[in-house]
Structures are given as C-alpha cells and as structure tokens.
Amino acid sequence: LQVEKLEKNMAKLTIEVPADDLEKALQSAYMKQKNKIAMPGFRKGKVPRQMIEKMYGPEIFYDDAANALIPKAYSEAYEECELEIVSRPEINVVQIEKGKSFIFTNDVRPYIFYCYTKKDSTLEKNAVLFLYSYGSIFPFSRTLQSMA
C-alpha cells in the first residue's frame, strides 16, 4: 500500500495484490464461468481453462477476478492507511496480468475541517449538507494536532 497526498485534501491509494492471489481469483472466475462456455469438441462446462484463454485471450477472466479481489484489498488498505475516507471509491486498474501482481489505484477525499461561531441555522444547515456530501464532521473540541 502506498498513500500519496494530493492537492485539495485528496489522497491517492496504490494497492498491490500478490500474483498468487490473482491466480486464485482467475481460477475462481474460470470455475464460475466454465459452465457457460461451449467450444466445438468439448462438452459444455468441460473446456480446459488454457483452451478458453487461447481462443478468447487471457483477459477473459480478468473482470471477474478484479471484482473478486478489489473489495477485500480495498478494505484492508482502508484499515492500514489511517485516513478518514469519505468519498466513493474510484478504482483505476494499473496492472492486471497473469503471473504478475494486480495493482490498482483509488483517488479518495479525506476529511474536511470547519467551525463556526454563531448559531445561524441557515449557515449550519448548509454546512452540514455540504459536509455530509464531501467531508466528515468532527466536534470542535478535537484538536487539529490529534487529526494530523
């Protein structure tokens, strides 16, 4: 896991999954799809994985493998990175290739600080709506040093 701080309170997570985990996910994707694939000379569901990859290309199982790996790897990275992530994940696959590690990135928006002094209900309502959309609300008693 690599965490890169970007401008405007953004961060970029680069997450790497080992090659053997990718291979397991590719095998699982093959097992899931093999009953749907028919090839001349083979009964339905009995086509070897190597034949399917030779005919359709090795990337035929990449989508299912990535969809299986990303949620677990992302949740582990979330726990490890110590950021309060408030945005939806926007996953960008950097590398997915048989025999190599699976690498993807995610641009995230961490927390936003705000405070106000007057009890203006319009200001408070707008600030709360904004922060629920784009940030996290922290009590004012929390110090900025504890958040850094």
**88 confidence band (pLDDT: 50, 70, 90):** confident
pTM: 0.71
pLDDT-derived band at 138 (thresholds 50, 70, 90) equals: low
Banded pLDDT at 87 (limits 50, 70, 90): confident
Write the pLDDT tens digit of every residue in 31-40. 999 999 888 9
Measured between alpha carbons, how far is residue 6 from residues 19, 25, 83, 126, 138 in Å?
28, 32, 13, 26, 22
pLDDT digits (tens, 9 = 90+) for 41-59: 999 889 999 999 999 998 9
**Secondary structure (DSSP) of 49-95:** HHHHHHHH-GGGGHHHHHHHHHHHHHHHHHHHH-----SPP-EEEEE
